[in-house]
Chains A and B, each alone.
Chain A
Amino acid sequence: MPLRRSSFEAIKNLHEERHVFLLRILAAALLCLGLSALLVTRLVHVQLIDHDYYSTRSDENRMRLWVVPPVRGYLFDRNGTVMAENRPAFLMQVNPEKTGDLTDTLKRLSQLVRISESDLVRFRDRRRKAPKFTEVPLRFNLTMEELANYQVNRYAFKGVQIEPSLSRKYPLGASAAHVIGYIGGITENDLDKVDEKTYRGTNYFGKNGVERAYEEALHGVLGTKIVETNAAGRPLREVDYRLGTPGTNLYLSIDAKLQLVAEQSLGERSGAVVAIEPGTGEILALVSKPGFDPHLFVDGIDVPTYRALNENEKRPLFNRALQGQYAAGSTIKPFMALAGLDARQLKPADNVYCKGEFTLPGSSHKYRCHKREGHGWVDMDRGVGVSCDVYFYNVALKLGIDRIHGFLTRFGLGKPLGVDLPGEKGGLMPSREWKKRVRKEDWYLGETLNIGIGQGYTLVTPLQLAQITAQLAMRGKGFRPHMVHAVQDPVTQKVVSVPPEPLPEIVLSRTEAWDQIIETMEHVVHEPGGTAYRIGHDAPYRIAGKTGTVQVVAMKQNEKEAPDLADVLEKFRDHALFIAFAPVESPKIAIAVLAEHAGHGGSVAAPVARAVMDAWLVNPGRDAIHGVTPEPIEPPARPSVAGRAESPRDVLAKRDSRHP
């Protein structure tokens, strides 16, 4: 017996306990025997009594579970123009267990149809996962020629199958490729992001754009059928069929015609156009140039083509509208003025004298205005209208970086807006805290001045520019920008529109400030001497806008004369920016245009915006597409009374103001 007993055990009845334990062991043994008997009974039943039945089923009938992948949802524009669809195609499948020498079969097949390295990699991946004795896809979307090549030599192959399938087509081609994105062959990586079970038999996966963002909705629900096959694997009959659900159809908020107008107006230039409906946040057009043909990716792009796209200096795969981060330039000025009014640091009638440069007290450094000879006395209206830098140095100085940061952050600058497209960038809205953290330095007053004219650290995406313009147009009411206008249920065919998602409203301390700023922007477009007068003088509706120019290369402090625009290599030329909304009284469209290396906002970017607004507001018919002049209009040379439009020389001179 165990040697030591604790005091607790003194009250235990050891004899009784052991007796009970013995009984329990016996009960447990009985339980085990009883349950085992149950198993044996069942096994005898299955293995002896029903043996013939199961034997027959095993020998003659082979049940197979087949998966029926769902049909991918269509993409339409807001008017029902097809943007992505499925067209019949032919698929080549191989049953590795039936081909005999697989390596040899693949080698011989590759002489008849194009089989790329990525096809082979995917084939091997799929083969590892697929049950044995099933077909594994090798090539999608065979061309008619390839199909014919194979069919003629068909007798020489065992275990190879041609199956009808569906292939994704983008009828608009390169148009809106950055919005729609594309699908491509599904990879292990893609499968990790979804429930792998529901993707059995699915060959494609959304890789970019809406195709990626709404992958699971577009994919639909897998159907299954259980099929009886004979010993050779030939289907005899369907035993059970469970219908899948096709993918959801999406009506994008994009207007295909408007998109085309925007793309054509931008011409051959690299750049971006974003148009938003201010009252809903729906994105009407989202252009990034240059574009690319999405079909290249659907069936696996070959290496040289991909390398060419990827290494192209103009970066066609890069979505400038969401991912391009640029200085805001002068387009930020109305918002600076708005911040000044809100903080009661600015009165519209207050005048500032511009002598062409600005110095901080106690410093000799000159902050230049883009107009060397100065604008003279400038009030708020003229400050915005002629884009006077000195005026906005003053505004920035009065506000200070903390208030500027606080105010512009309310508009959503400095972080992604949460648009329903992958890869959106947030830009940068600098602050003291940011500089301390990232640059490990204190904030300098001179930097505040640069922020005041949209230079310095501030970075925005074209989408953000369009969004803040839309929110300005709505006098502070904002909606999250989004791509999907409506959703069509694949079964009931019912179309349900997607409600706008309100963002926190921006409430100013003085409500009239909205209209005061909007009025100055209206003057930019409609008053002679405004930097965008060329698009405003004949407009049948009222536009509020602001031009901007962003330096690509800084100019030296002591450089006297700027070189002629024509002499500057294109890749060193400034970016042209323009933001606008119209009609002023009831805004229907807000737009941001970026033309890279185009030199000047008023002359290049503004006409693009005008063309898009015309297409949306004036003649939304087909003519709109033909009414576009892709060639940028040359800037007029004539000076005006109130000042003059930014000429190439002014633009280059403005470089002085940055990086003292």
Chain B
Amino acid sequence: MSNTLSTEQRAPAPGWSEWFARVLHLDLWLLSLLFALSALGLLVLYSASGHSMDVVANQMQRLGLGMLVLFACAQLPPDLYRLAAPWLYGITLVLLILVLTLGDDAKGAVRWLDVGLFRFQPSELMKLAMPLAIAAYLHRRPLPPRPQDLVAVLMMIVVPVLLVVKQPDLGTALLIVAGGGFALFFSGLGWRWILATMASVAAAAPVLWHFLHDYQRKRVLTFLDPELDPLGAGYHITQSKIAIGSGGLFGKGLLNGTQAKLDFLPEAHTDFIFAVYAEELGLLGVLLLLTLYITLVSRGLIIALRGQDTFQRLLAGSLSLMLFLYVFINIGMVIGLLPVVGVPLPLMSYGGTSMVSLLAGFGMLTSIQTHRKLVSS
């Protein structure tokens, strides 16, 4: 197996790709896939928003900002991320606690808005801080992780997740768990341990339930059974299935979808944009989209394989799988396979909060790919 890896050490063929990698620290594969997805996203967004150039312009602005962040993140060497990881994790944790205490004080509707502005940032940051911190923690330790390391890592996951669940923001909590869990998975944790951990989490759920407020329990129940909330989730799913199903193989054609246009489909341009896409571009369009995403994930996994130390490998692997999880949860929700949870479709959904953290993640992937030392010692 090590032979396969050492073949990766060849100098890359000279040309554009090399110039991009060496001078700009950018990965052409990642970049072109991201641009392709963003372009598709803008097109559908134009349709889903009811032909609103304002919405499209806003989204372009956010994409632009996200790309700048990606570029900046790509310039920093992976070792720097490893050294900064514990700090980032600690600061984010403090912010999460801060948000929670402020949030508890704010029972009034007006303060909720204040908290709402802050709520996204720490938990969003934790999506990146979590895999970073765990990859950095496991970096210097023997792998597969010893039981004491496993316990430490689980604590690192559980504490912030509890804080986010308390907010309550289940979608984000899920992604944070995944970020840490994937790093553990790639560290070579034995399958038995993985199963045991999953089982104990399942066993701990009722205890967690006990600590939730009534209104939080209600949210969890609605999450599990959308029909409980006729104004919200249940209605969304019915309408989005009608949109997707009526698209058929070829779709109704770009800008010709009726479900979103007649406003039967709420949140058409945010979490449910996939339904508009599927209605207008049909199954063929959907397959194209899935292919693009899977290629993107594969590129990420290849970068992980080429990673030069434990930290790089674990981080790249986790970030790639998290991207896939985004896509899977969002599409799964829109077609009624999974409960409704607020997870956007990467690069397609309107909204800036997760866009930036997502592209920052791609920046780190790029950094791992483009800072490889080409000459072996």
Binding site for B on A (CB under 8 A): 1-3, 6, 8-9, 11-13, 15, 17-22, 24-25, 28-29, 32-33, 35-36, 38-40, 42-44, 46-48, 50-51, 53-55, 57-59, 62-65, 67, 131-134, 192-194, 197, 200, 224, 226, 240, 242
**Is B356 an interface position by the 8 A CB rule?**
no
A8 with B140: CB separation less than 8 A: yes
Query: Beyond the given A11-B142, A42-B335, A134-B263, could you list 19 further A-B residue pairs with CB under 8 A, ordered by the A residue number?
Result: A1-B308, A15-B2, A18-B1, A18-B5, A20-B144, A22-B1, A22-B4, A32-B297, A43-B278, A46-B335, A47-B245, A51-B249, A58-B258, A59-B246, A67-B231, A192-B109, A192-B110, A193-B108, A226-B235
**Is B354 an interface position by the 8 A CB rule?**
no
**Is B17 an interface position by the 8 A CB rule?**
no
**Is B224 an interface position by the 8 A CB rule?**
no
- With both chains docked as a complex, state the minimum distance between the C-beta of B235 and any C-beta of chain A, in angstroms: 6
**Is B243 an interface position by the 8 A CB rule?**
yes
A residues near B248, Cβ cutoff 8 Å: 47-48, 51, 55
B residues near A3, Cβ cutoff 8 Å: 373, 377
Q: Which of B29-37, B54-62, B85-93, B298-306 contacts A (4 or more CB under 8 A)?
A: B298-306
Residue among A6, A18, A55 with the highest chain B CB neighbour number at 10 A: A18
Contact of A47 among B109, B231, B278 (CB under 8 A): B278
Chain A: CB-nearest residue to B239: A63
When chains A and B are docked, how far (Å) is the Cα of A12 from the Cα of B373? 21
Within 8 A of A (CB), among B233-251: 235, 238-239, 241-249
Chain A: CB-nearest residue to B328: A35
Contact of A2 among B140, B332, B373 (CB under 8 A): B373
**Is B262 an interface position by the 8 A CB rule?**
yes
**Is B106 an interface position by the 8 A CB rule?**
no
B332 with A17: CB separation less than 8 A: no
Chain B: CB-nearest residue to A32: B324
When chains A and B are docked, how far (Å) is the Cα of A1 from the Cα of B332? 41
Chain A: CB-nearest residue to B331: A39
A40 with B2: CB separation less than 8 A: no
B264 with A48: CB separation less than 8 A: no
Within 8 A of A (CB), among B77-132: 108-110, 113
B residues near A58, Cβ cutoff 8 Å: 242-243, 245-246, 258-259
When chains A and B are docked, how far (Å) is the Cα of A17 from the Cα of B262? 55
**Is B72 an interface position by the 8 A CB rule?**
no
A47 with B247: CB separation less than 8 A: yes
Chain B: CB-nearest residue to A39: B331
- Per-residue CB proximity of B153-196 to A under 8 Å, as 1/0? 00000000000000000000000000000100110100000000
Q: Is the interface of B mostly helix, strand, loop or mixed?
A: helix
B301 with A25: CB separation less than 8 A: yes
A197 with B262: CB separation less than 8 A: no
Chain B: CB-nearest residue to A200: B231
B141 with A28: CB separation less than 8 A: no
Contact of B317 among A15, A24, A50 (CB under 8 A): A24
When chains A and B are docked, how far (Å) is the Cα of A364 from the Cα of B253? 98
Chain A: CB-nearest residue to B302: A25
B5 with A32: CB separation less than 8 A: no
B residues near A33, Cβ cutoff 8 Å: 294
Answer whether A17 and B304 are a contact pair too, CB < 8 Å, given A47-B244, A48-B283.
Answer: no
When chains A and B are docked, how far (Å) is the Cα of A13 from the Cα of B187? 12
Chain A: CB-nearest residue to B312: A2
Interface pairs (11), CB distance under 8 Å? A18-B1, A21-B317, A28-B182, A35-B328, A47-B283, A48-B283, A55-B245, A194-B109, A197-B231, A224-B230, A242-B230
Within 8 A of A (CB), among B60-82: none
When chains A and B are docked, how far (Å) is the Cα of A242 from the Cα of B232? 14
Contact of B283 among A9, A43, A131 (CB under 8 A): A43
Binding site for A on B (CB under 8 A): 1-2, 4-5, 50, 108-110, 113, 140-144, 182, 185-186, 188, 230-232, 235, 238-239, 241-249, 258-259, 262-264, 266, 278, 282-283, 286-287, 290, 294, 297-298, 301, 304-305, 308-310, 313, 317, 320-321, 324, 328, 331-332, 335, 337, 373, 376-377
A28 with B140: CB separation less than 8 A: no
Residue among B235, B238, B287 with the highest chain A CB neighbour number at 10 A: B235
When chains A and B are docked, how far (Å) is the Cα of A11 from the Cα of B278? 52
A residues near B337, Cβ cutoff 8 Å: 38-39, 42
- With both chains docked as a complex, state the minimum distance between the C-beta of A65 and any C-beta of chain B, in angstroms: 6
B186 with A24: CB separation less than 8 A: yes
When chains A and B are docked, how far (Å) is the Cα of A587 from the Cα of B256? 77
When chains A and B are docked, how far (Å) is the Cα of A13 from the Cα of B2? 13
- With both chains docked as a complex, state the minimum distance between the C-beta of A601 and any C-beta of chain B, in angstroms: 42
When chains A and B are docked, how far (Å) is the Cα of A54 from the Cα of B278? 13
A131 with B2: CB separation less than 8 A: no
A24 with B297: CB separation less than 8 A: no
A residues near B263, Cβ cutoff 8 Å: 131-134
Answer whether A21 and B231 are a contact pair too, CB < 8 Å, given A58-B243, A133-B263.
Answer: no
When chains A and B are docked, how far (Å) is the Cα of A51 from the Cα of B321? 32
B1 with A19: CB separation less than 8 A: yes
When chains A and B are docked, how far (Å) is the Cα of A350 from the Cα of B201? 80
A residues near B231, Cβ cutoff 8 Å: 65, 67, 197, 200, 224
When chains A and B are docked, how far (Å) is the Cα of A240 from the Cα of B297? 43
When chains A and B are docked, how far (Å) is the Cα of A43 from the Cα of B336? 10
B317 with A28: CB separation less than 8 A: yes
A29 with B298: CB separation less than 8 A: yes
